[in-house]
Amino acid sequence: MIPRLLAAPDSGWTAETDVIVIGSGIAGLVTALECRRHGRVMLVTKALLDEGSTRWAQGGIAAALAPDDSPGDHLADTLTAGVGLCDADAVRALVTEGPDAVRRLIALGTSFDRSADGGIALTREGGHHRRRIAHAGGDATGAEISRALLAALKQAGGGVDVIEHALVLDLLRDATGRAAGITLHVMGEGQPEGVGSVRARAVVLATGGLGQVFSATTNPAVSTGDGVALALRAGAAVADLEFVQFHPTVLWLGEGARGRQPLISEAVRGEGAHLVDAAGERFMVGRHELAELAPRDIVAKGIMNRMRETGTSHMFLDGRHLGAAMWEKRFPTILAACRHHGIDPVTRPIPVVPAAHYSSGGVRTDLSGRTSVPGLYACGEVACTGVHGANRLASNSLLEGLVFAERIASAIPADLASVPGDPATPDVPRGLLHPSTRDDVQRIMTSYAGVLRDADGLATAERELHAIRETGEPGVAAWEATNLHTVATAIVAAARRREETRGSHWREDFPELDDTVWRGRLVTRLDEDGLGTTYEPLSEGAA
């Protein structure tokens, strides 16, 4: 059973604000900074302010900043990567507003790497036909953006109340169904402890990703799909969940490696490194016109295919020819991580394998970040704006968080004019999972719903997820395990239904793309009967 509530809303302490922003990556921080102009903001984050996914982003932020580039070229590459399922209006907003949004990030204090002529140094990544990825600290772009935004938040002084170590549980809704606040579990450190509720006029989910659904991921431990699970419990529409993107190159740490894995940025390939097999052969050449710089679903599939053909557990990224100086200047984080694990990329090819990286789907929104529940917004990886379609173009995610946070901040004043009613009395909480089931969910998803999928495996995943018994007691580990299970069940339902191969959804039993049947979105909702997935065809003009 998928629970409709994690905790009773009337337990514990209460607080009140105007706008609640949940999450402190680029999406959450920009939304909070912008919304403080309109009212009181409470910024809630699960760990410390800088512990979300943003700080781990290596490659950079994509925007048409170069003289030989244009928003139209960026649009074309994004639509190609999304394999027919992008919302063209959302992509247009992203690529046309992106360059100025990046300039505002610079004005706020973000220091991007510069080229010899003083301009912003731009690199390439998979699927981009131009150099349009701005980076910082070589390969520490997310850390620099996070630093600058946190400094701006501190400098802004009042207006944003920050609550760290706080796990959001459920959305409060009034009798009309409008968002009226959240329930929250706060884990001490001078703040009210335990479960309480915060009343607000608007709630913004910026909770990041769901990579922890799988055993090996580039995501931090906090990425447990809390926002998608909360949205489902609140009755919101989620979409495109079958499109989980596997990053082609994470450092291979041996069979059975678990948890967050070291990412080897696509920018390493952008600067000229080659993917090779154990015999040193460049197997992506001839598979795609962009070879190693093909969109990442194609590279991940190329790696998996070559692993199969050669009966090996990993491939190699050969960047020896980049030279020590390039490695030290451009990729200090990756160099340190590889050396920490006993591999020196200056003298040896790096063993690499794909791992879960990014959810292209999420809570369905319009172009202003509004979800299907009035007063509830979603921004960043937790959202499905339609920008990514079936496969996100590399380094579009930081840009999406930035551009759509600004759009949400423009839309929210209308919500502040309305006063939600008292929270309606919901169900009693039930159906919590035991913390140990986190491992079960990860094993099931990795075995049956990972890079390669088929009907039998997905049916097994559905059966085994359904068989997990609800024996959890309220507590952070049980709530997280329950969220992971909810999200995994929704991913499997959508992946089972989509009987074709498209973007990052790879069905071995349906290896072709099928536009005659499947050019549309799978939208999932939770109601009294459980999870239901409906198919919504895209309009003719959509891309």
Candidates 18-26, 318-326, 389-397, 525-533; binding stretch for ligand SIN (CB under 6 A): 389-397
Looking at residues 29 to 58 of the shown chain, list those that interact with ligand SIN (rule: CB under 6 A): 58
User: d(Cα 270, Cα 108) in Å, to the nearest integer?
Assistant: 28
266 scored as a contact of ligand SIN (CB under 6 A): yes
Residue 400 contacts ligand SIN per CB under 6 A: no
Residue closer to ligand SIN, measured from CB, 31 or 265 = 265
Query: Which is nearer to ligand SIN, 59 or 262 (by Cβ)?
Result: 59
Q: Which stretch binds ligand SIN (CB under 6 A): 63-71, 390-398, 419-427, 485-493?
A: 390-398
Q: Is residue 61 near ligand SIN by the rule CB under 6 A?
A: no
H-helix or E-strand containing 19? strand 19-22
Contact 18, 38 (CB under 8 A): yes
CB 432 within 8 A of CB 469: no
Distance CA 361, CA 387 (A): 9
What is the residue whose two structure tokens read 């496969």? 391
Of 358 and 518, nearer to ligand SIN (C-beta) is: 358
# chain residues binding ligand SIN, by CB under 6 A: 9
C-alpha–C-alpha distance, residues 524 and 506, integer Å: 20
Q: DSSP class of residue 247?
A: E
Binding segment for ligand SIN among 197-205, 263-271, 322-330, 442-450 (CB under 6 A)?
A: 263-271
Chosen residue from 162, 236, 250, 267 binding ligand SIN by CB under 6 A: 267
Length of the chain equals 543
Helix (H, G, I), strand (E, B) or coil at 542: coil
Q: Which of 397, 442, 446, 533 is in the footprint of ligand SIN by CB under 6 A?
A: 397
Nearest residue relative to ligand SIN (C-beta): 59
User: What character string, x for contact with ligand SIN (CB under 6 A) and - otherwise, covers 325-364?
Assistant: ---------------------------------x------
Beta carbon nearer to ligand SIN, 354 or 472: 354
Binding residue for ligand SIN (CB under 6 A) from 265, 371, 385, 501?
Answer: 265
Q: Does 395 bind ligand SIN (CB under 6 A)?
A: yes
224 and 483 in contact (C-beta within 8 Å)?
yes
Type and span of the H or E element at 67: none
Q: How far is the CB of 261 from ligand SIN (least distance, A)?
A: 13
The least CB distance from residue 245 to ligand SIN, in Å, is 8
Shortest Å distance, C-beta 79 to ligand SIN: 17
394: contact with ligand SIN by CB under 6 A:
yes
Q: Please measure the distance between the N-terminal and C-terminal CA atoms of the chain and give it in whole angstroms.
A: 36
Known catalytic residues are: 296
Residues facing 395 on adjacent strands? none
Structure-token match 């009967």, residue found: 529
52, 59, 262, 450: which one binds ligand SIN (CB under 6 A) = 59
Specify whether the CB–CB gap between 371 and 233 falls below 8 A: no
Q: Closest approach of Cβ 104 to ligand SIN, in Å? A: 20
- Provide, rounded to whole angstroms, the least separation between the CB of residue 306 and ligand SIN: 19
For every residue of 447-463, which 3-state class applies, written as one string? HHCCCCECHHHHHHHHH
Pinpoint the alpha helices (H) of 271-367: 296-310, 323-330, 332-340
Three-state SS letters, 484-506:
HHHHHHHHHHHHHHCCCCECCEC
CA distances from 215 to 6, 225, 303 (A): 24, 14, 19
Q: Which residues bind ligand SIN (CB under 6 A)?
A: 58-59, 265-267, 358, 394-395, 397
